[in-house]
Structure formats: C-alpha cells, structure tokens
Amino acid sequence: MSWQGYVDTNLVATGKISQAAIIGLKGGVWATSPDFNDRMLTSTVPASHSSHEPHRPRSNRPFLPFLLLQVAPEEQKAIIAGFDDPSGLQAGGVRANGKKFFTLGVTPKTIYGKQGGDGLVAVKTNQAVLVCVYLAPIVPGEANKVAEGLGDYLISVGY
C-alpha cells in the first residue's frame, strides 16, 4: 500500500480521524489527507510498498467541515524533537497549521494534544510520524486507537 493509501484508507476513512499526514523523521511530508495544503509536499517521498493488510471501505460518516491543515517545517521539527525532549511541547503546546493544541501527554511513541473538543495525536514509528487531527464530536480514545493501531502495524513491518 502507498503512504497515501494509509492516510486515506487506514486513518481518514475510519471516520475517527478528520485529517492526517505522514511525515518523515528526517523531515518532509510523505502523504496527506486531501485537505492538507499541497505546498508542503516538496520533499522526496519514499517508494511505495505493498501490504496484505485489507482495505477498509470508506464510511458514510457525517460531513466534517474542512480544516485546511498543514504541518509546516518548523511544526514538523518541533513534533519530531518532542518525542526525545517533550519540554518544549509541554511548555508551548503542539502545533499543526499554526493551531496550538494543549499538550496532554508525551511518551517516546505518542504525543497527545487538545484544543476545545478537537485534538491531535502523533505516533512515532521507526521512520515516520503519523500526525492525526480529530474534530468534535469524535471521541479522543477512538481517534487514538486508530492512529496507534496503524503506528503499531507500520513498526511491525519495519517502518
């Protein structure tokens, strides 16, 4: 499956993630949901790989307003650095698209943020970070389970 396929099928199509991106640990956006800003797609994307993981069908979820979400280079750097040293995220929050999310928690593998009813979960794999935003009324635990599940799968296959 391509990186774009993971974003579209395994994250957004679940109805539990509103927008998502996969960013490389060395920087650069590998794939984004359709409403991410294309100007961020300036880095080299690693070759696609196939998987025997089944595709999930698109859900008939209610219309969600588009949030033009982008992960700017400085936001990418802060998220990636936050896994090793969370002090910056704990003091200043985690940002995506210039929107500041209050940092709820950071582990060596996950970052959780919240702003009102919306939230962010970032999951680190061996080579990338899944950056996922969910909008109210999506429940944080449901979004976290989807993002962390894909992260665990990518780690298990070496990514």
Domains and CATH numbers, the chain: 3-43+66-156 (3.30.450.30)
Most confident of 34-48, 52-66, 136-150: 136-150
Query: Which pLDDT score, from 0 to 100, does residue 31 have?
Result: 94
- Residue 54's pLDDT is 38
Render pLDDT for 102-152 as a digit per residue (tens, 0 to 9): 999 999 999 999 999 999 999 999 999 999 999 999 999 999 999 999 999
pLDDT, residue 50, reads 40
Q: Evaluate if residue 88 carries a pLDDT over 70.
A: yes
Average pLDDT (88-112) is 95
pLDDT the model gives residue 52: 39
Phi first, then psi, for residue 56 (nearest 5°) are -95, 135
Pairing of strands 19-24, 128-134: antiparallel
pLDDT for position 34:
79
Asked which of 30-34, 48-52, 87-91, 137-141 is least confident by mean pLDDT, the reply is 48-52
